[in-house]
Amino acid sequence: MHLLAEIGNGQILWDILWLFTFIIWFWLLITVFGDIFRDHDLGGVAKTLWIIFVIVLPYLGVFVYLIARGKGMTERNMAAMANAQKAQADYIKSVAGTSGGASEELARLADLKEKGVLSDEEFQAAKAKVLS
């Protein structure tokens, strides 16, 4: 009870504010470092210089990076999200297949039989394989 009397409500709110500020700062650092390594336009020397700048002068380095390369950061994030979305859509299409898979396969086999590519025996074997 004595501890709560010393801390008070204002001190707790102030501590929570500093905690969230600390968390946001680390999130910004991780975001900036991730963007530096993800950027293909920067060469190795430029990446090294940016990293040294951010480590030696963290606040100034992060804010200068956000000002100087913020637009490119946004474009790279949007491109990464678009690539991830396309990869997810391709994966879903590959797993789901087409809606009429067996019927389309049978139609393709019948077309091949009509063109003379498949014999009757080959058609029947392929048909049994599709239907099983």
CA distance 132 to 57: 67
- Tokens representing 72 are 């490119």
Instruction: Give yes or no for a contact between 31 and 66, defined as CB atoms under 8 angstroms apart.
Output: no
Residue 118 has what pLDDT?
86
Q: How confident is the prediction for the chain on average, in pLDDT?
A: 87
Is the Cβ–Cβ distance between 87 and 104 less than 8 Å? no
**C-alpha count within 13 angstroms, C-beta hemisphere, residue 36:** 24
The pLDDT assigned to 25 comes to 93
Residue 13 is predicted with a pLDDT of: 86
Sole residue written with tokens 């040294």: 52
Q: Which residue has the tokens 């946004």?
A: 74
Q: Is the confidence at residue 23, as pLDDT, over 80? A: yes
Tell me what percent of the residues of the chain surpass a pLDDT of 90: 48
What is the predicted pLDDT for the residue at 132?
77
What are 28-71's pLDDT values in tens digits? 999 999 999 998 888 999 999 999 999 999 999 999 999 999 89
**Residues in contact with 105: Cβ distance below 8 Å, sequence separation at least 6, in sequence order:** 130
> Who's near 31: CB < 8 A, 6+ residues apart?
73
- pLDDT tier at 100, thresholds 50, 70, 90: low
CA-nearest of 65, 68, 43, 39 to 53 is: 65
Q: Is the pLDDT of residue 106 over 80?
A: yes
Torsion of CA 42, 44, 46, 48, to 10 degrees: 130
